[in-house]
Structure formats: C-alpha cells, structure tokens
Amino acid sequence: MTKRFPFHPYPNSWFVVAFSHELAPGGVMPLHYFGQELVLFRTEDGAARVLDAYCPHLGAHLGCGGVVQGNKLRCPFHGWQFAGESGQCVEVPFAAKIPPRAGLRSWPVREIDGAIYVYHHAEGAPPSWEIPSLHTPEWTDPAVFKWKLRSCCQEILENTVDTSHLPTVHAARRPGSYKPKASEGPVLSHELNIQWDGAYIGFPGMEMDVRLDVSVFGLGMIHVETLALMVGMQARQRFFATPIDEDHIHLRAAVQVRRLPDEEMTRSVDMMFRQAFETDFVKDFPIWENKIYRAQPLLSEADGPIVMYRRWAKQFYSEYEAGENLVARAPRAAVHAKLSTIA
C-alpha cells in the first residue's frame, strides 16, 4: 500500500526487465525493480539470469563490473563466483572452503518473444503460471519503446477495460462495445469494437471500424491485436509494465504490423502505424501521472467493466503489511530453489 494506491506496488506476476536485444552474450546489466537492486546477465550458453545484486562477502554490486565466466558471474571486488541458475557461490579464490551460506537469490527468468521476464512473488513462491509465446513469422520486426512513469501497474492495465476514455483521450468516435472472453485465472481477455477516426492511421476523413482483441497476462503484460476492418490492416501491440519502486514504473511497448504481399507497402504501413502509435499512446501519460485512485468510483453506464477488472486484479497480491517485503524474509530453501528457464 502506498500514499496514492490502496494496494502494494509490487504484485505477484511476470514482469519484463529488458528486451532481448539489450543483453548480448556475456553482457551484464544492473537493474532496479521491486524496490531492490538486481543484476541481469547472459551466460555463455545464452541463458538470461537474474540474481540479487549485492555480493554476500563485502557488498559489491555485481551489476557494476561483474564479469560472466561460462555460466557463472564473478564479483568485481574479490572474484567470488556465483552460479547463474541457482545463485550459489561455487568458487572463492584462495580459499579451501566456501562459506556454507554463500549465495544470492536467483530469480525465475523466462525469455519469450524478444523480452526477458522476471517473476516476482512477495513470499518467494515459484511461478504458478507462464507467459505464452505468441510469435508468428508474418509480423514485422517490432519497434520498441520505453518510458518511466509515476504510476503503478494496475492503473496502466485498467485502461484496457476503460472504454469511455477512448473518445476523450484518443481518436475513437464513441466508447465502443465490450465483449468479454475470459476473466478467470491469470488471463483477462476481451474484444473491443470501436469506430475510429481514420486520420489516426493515415486515412483522414474516413470513419473506420476497428476491432481490438485484448489479452492481459497478470499485472505485467498486455497483448493487443488491432484490425482495421475496412482496409484490412492488422497491427500488434504488446505493453509491459514493471514496478521500479513505490511510485514509479517502467512502461515498455513493442509494435508490429502484419506483413502485406508487397514489401514496400508493408514498410509504408509499418512506419505509418508506428508514428500514429507514438503520437497517440503518450496522451494517457499526464493523466496516469497526476490522477488519484478512487477505490469506490462514481461510475456511469458508459463505463467499461472496471469493477470486474479490479476484482480480477486482487488475485495478484499477497496479504501482508503495507511496505513489508516478504521476499527478504522468505525461507532460504525457497530463495535458492533451482528454477528452470526457457529460451
């Protein structure tokens, strides 16, 4: 729970901490997410790994000068080496024995469709669900974006059901119709049918019927497929919200269009949609950064299923005191559990 929001800023979910192209083989990156210092690195066998950042020896930050050696990460201060998969210390230079509690927490990591996910759970529990791969070859290479916002994940994802904001903030002619598909478990999916101003994608003066197929995966990822029915143009947007601290998140996006038979036309449509996306999406930002959260909002019949969304979102929070970090006091066996990754 924070001053702005009546829920904890760090839900239990999968969150993107980097795009795959940002982490070369042998690369090391310092991270700050969930109010904690972490280190992301890619081992020589190509796996992305995330550990707690501070060496248990004398506290050096492994993301600042740490070196990948094989499938291990070496501390820049005294050369202690930590296994990427388990976080256990496997070598201490000039010492015959390794201290029995020498190790770092290893975080569950998945690398899927060009994004690196970390699973956060307040009580150190392993992942209970997975992010599916949605990659298919008929889409263009994604254009990627990243912003830092003063908001929280639940607020960002609430926009997917808030249909009445579309005419005021974006290019919709009216709120549009909402058709639910699934609202159980970690996935919330629905269809939106909207009348859009054609100028949004380069067709000024045209009123376009647009269908959005929306899937929300936990409180960290949104997948949207957009179909402009009259012109047959299809676009795909993925949004990734990741909590940095109690007041800020990183919001990432990956935008693609479906390839057309003509490659030149594909490039033209791709550029047109990217430019429209960059211009339109950011209109939400000043609202998110300056609004308050109404726990009991005064809703009208024009609003989307906001109450349903908030009930669904509750499953991603643990019951604990405001501001308490249960991961820090989770049992060591859970903290150092060996967790598999998928490429």
Cβ-defined contacts of 36-43 (< 8 Å, 24+): 36/325, 37/61, 37/63, 38/63, 38/107, 38/118, 39/63, 39/66, 39/73, 40/116, 41/66, 41/68, 41/73, 41/84, 42/68, 43/68, 43/70, 43/71, 43/72, 43/84
- State the chain's maximal CA–CA distance in angstroms: 77
Domain ranges of the chain: 13-123+326-335, 143-316
Element (H, E) at 223: strand 221-228
> DSSP string of 139-151?
BPPPEEEEEEESS
| The pLDDT value given to residue 202 | 61
Residues paired with 54 in a beta bridge: 61
Q: What is the pTM (predicted TM-score) of this model? A: 0.90
CATH number of 143-316: 3.90.380.10
Q: In the CATH scheme, what is the homologous superfamily, with its name and number, of domain 13-123+326-335?
A: Rieske [2Fe-2S] iron-sulphur domain (2.102.10.10)
| The pLDDT value given to residue 207 | 79
Separation CA 108–CA 14 (nearest Å): 9
Helices and strands in the chain: count of H runs, count of E runs = 6, 17
| The pLDDT value given to residue 288 | 97
> DSSP string of 277-333?
HHHHHGGGHHHHHH----SS----TTS-SHHHHHHHHGGG-----TT--GGGGS-HH
Separation CA 29–CA 73 (nearest Å): 12
Separation CA 318–CA 326 (nearest Å): 9
Q: What is the mean pLDDT of each run of 10 residues along the chain (343 residues)?
A: 86 98 97 98 97 98 98 98 97 95 97 98 96 95 97 96 90 83 92 79 73 96 88 90 98 96 92 89 97 94 90 89 40 32 28
| The pLDDT value given to residue 232 | 75
| Structural tokens at position 182 | 């699934």
Which amino acid is residue 123, in one-letter code? Answer: E
Residues paired with 190 in a beta bridge: 180, 214
Residues paired with 52 in a beta bridge: 38
